[in-house]
Amino acid sequence: MKSPRVAFVGAGNMAQRAHLRSYCALARTGACELVGLLERRPRLASWVAEAYGIRHIYASIEDLLADPDIDGIVAVLPYRQHAFVVPQLLSRGIPVFTEKPLALSLESGQRLVDLGMQYHTPHMIGYHKRSDPAVRHARDVITRWRATGDVGSMRYVRVSMPPGDWTSGSLPAISTDEALAYDRLDTPADVPGGSIEAYDRFVNYYIHQVNLIRFLLGEPYEVRFADRAGHLLIGESIGGTTVTLEMAAFELREGWWESVLVGFDRAFIEIRLPAPLAESAGQIRTVREIDGSVVEEIPQLPPVAAMRQQAATFLEVIQGSGRPPCDAADAVEDLKIARSFFQLVGSTATGL
């Protein structure tokens, strides 16, 4: 089978550090080809294309969409630009990848879902934690335990995400002094509590964890409580499982301390997640009671970084041999939860 031919839209900090490096590494193995780049900053486009071996620089979106030699598009743009750029990309009908969140406003997010369905375009959203080997293993264990009932019912899911060094010492991106301004920004028609800035910060920093909780649960949940400082979200799934998201319980300049706890009646799972740009996988421990004895397991998982696995999965989506871990229809649910949280906490969210 021919290697998928991938075009990039955007060559900024996240495009390079989180995505281009992964696709470039995969290209060196023959898993894909990087065929083109669209970037509004000419010097940056030229330098990045040369550094990553991209043979063509597009002059415009129309130029990119007219290229018959692309099989998939990786668009790493500010999410407040998704509403204005992604509709054109979806119209081509080939798989599209965008970073999280789907959009800032729920209205824009739902429109992207509708357009993807209209054009029959697979649209994968970059919730890379779903591609981490530890998270995937945890989801498999949870599914098995719930099916067998051997350790009782699922009681609790807690995710804690204190701010820290999310770059994990990764190499800086190529940059220029070229200015980049946007004429329009996606803005919700109404923001609960009236603070767009606080709502934007929550969606930017914590939408990963909102999504991760849903992934581990395997079912929807609703927000039941939000503290006035904006440090704690408590919810309940449709199956009765309590969920908590701890935001900024503390903040350290060094290290990354994101963790997950999943509790059953007679078992639990612990996950330690690496920094988003770390070239490593998460760690997982399962503990359960069997016939009166406690059994602890620390599985040996593939040492594949989540960003690299996410890129490999999108190549499978392009080839038709895989499905997005999170698509647009799934991702729009996170924006609904974000709105529900702000309906409770609103402009009093001093921690945000």
C-alpha triplet 59, 61, 67: angle, nearest 5°: 80
Q: What is the mean pLDDT of residues 77-102?
A: 98
Q: Which residues contact 169 (CB under 8 A, 6 or more apart)?
A: none
Positive or negative, the CA dihedral 91, 93, 94, 97 is: positive
Q: Is 327:127 a contact under the CB 8 Å cutoff? A: no
What are 265-290's pLDDT values in tens digits? 999 999 999 999 999 999 999 999 99
**Does pLDDT of 214 surpass 60?**
yes
Q: Which residues contact 71 (CB under 8 A, 6 or more apart)?
A: 4, 5, 6, 94, 95, 318
Task: Return the percentage of the chain with pLDDT > 70, whole number.
Answer: 97
Read off the tokens for 13: 């900090």
CA–CA dist 62, 93 (Å, integer): 14
Q: What is the CATH number of the domain that holds 270?
A: 3.30.360.10
Q: Is 157:138 a contact under the CB 8 Å cutoff? A: no
Q: Which helix (H) or strand (E) holds 86?
A: helix 82-90
Are 90 and 222 part of one and the same domain?
Answer: no
**Does pLDDT of 189 surpass 80?**
yes
CA–CA dist 134, 216 (Å, integer): 11
Q: Which helix (H) or strand (E) holds 64?
A: helix 61-65
Report how many domains make up the chain: 2
Are 143 and 264 part of one and the same domain?
Answer: yes
Q: What is the mean pLDDT of residues 321-338?
A: 97
64-96 burial: b if 16+ Cβ within 10 Å, else e: bbeeeebbbbbbbbbbbbbbebbbebbebebbb
Are 280 and 155 part of one and the same domain?
Answer: yes
* Residue 275, CB-side half-sphere exposure with 13 Å CA sphere: 18
What are 246-271's pLDDT values in tens digits? 999 999 989 999 999 999 999 999 99
> pLDDT value at position 349?
55
Q: How far apart are the first and last CA of the chain?
A: 48
> pLDDT value at position 131?
98
Are 152 and 260 part of one and the same domain?
Answer: yes
Are 105 and 207 part of one and the same domain?
Answer: no
CA–CA dist 243, 264 (Å, integer): 13
**Does pLDDT of 181 surpass 90?**
no
C-alpha triplet 322, 34, 276: angle, nearest 5°: 65
Are 78 and 222 part of one and the same domain?
Answer: no
**Does pLDDT of 347 surpass 70?**
no
Are 153 and 248 part of one and the same domain?
Answer: yes
Are 63 and 161 part of one and the same domain?
Answer: no
Beta strands 259-264 and 154-161 are: antiparallel
Are 236 and 102 part of one and the same domain?
Answer: no
> pLDDT value at position 110?
98
> pLDDT value at position 194?
64
CA–CA dist 33, 173 (Å, integer): 21
> pLDDT value at position 193?
63
> pLDDT value at position 230?
85
Are 231 and 341 part of one and the same domain?
Answer: yes
State the helix-helix crossing angle for 328-345 and 196-217, rounded to 10 degrees: 120
pLDDT averaged over every residue in the chain: 95
* Residue 303, CB-side half-sphere exposure with 13 Å CA sphere: 2
Of 93-102, 191-200, 320-329, the poorest mean pLDDT is in 191-200
Q: What is the CATH number of the domain that holds 21?
A: 3.40.50.720
Q: What is the domain range of residue 77?
A: 5-128+310-327
Are 317 and 340 part of one and the same domain?
Answer: no
**Does pLDDT of 150 surpass 80?**
yes
Q: What is the mean pLDDT of residues 84-105?
A: 98
Are 27 and 148 part of one and the same domain?
Answer: no
Peptide linkage before 101 cis (omega within 30 of 0): yes
Chain position carrying tokens 């009671």: 289
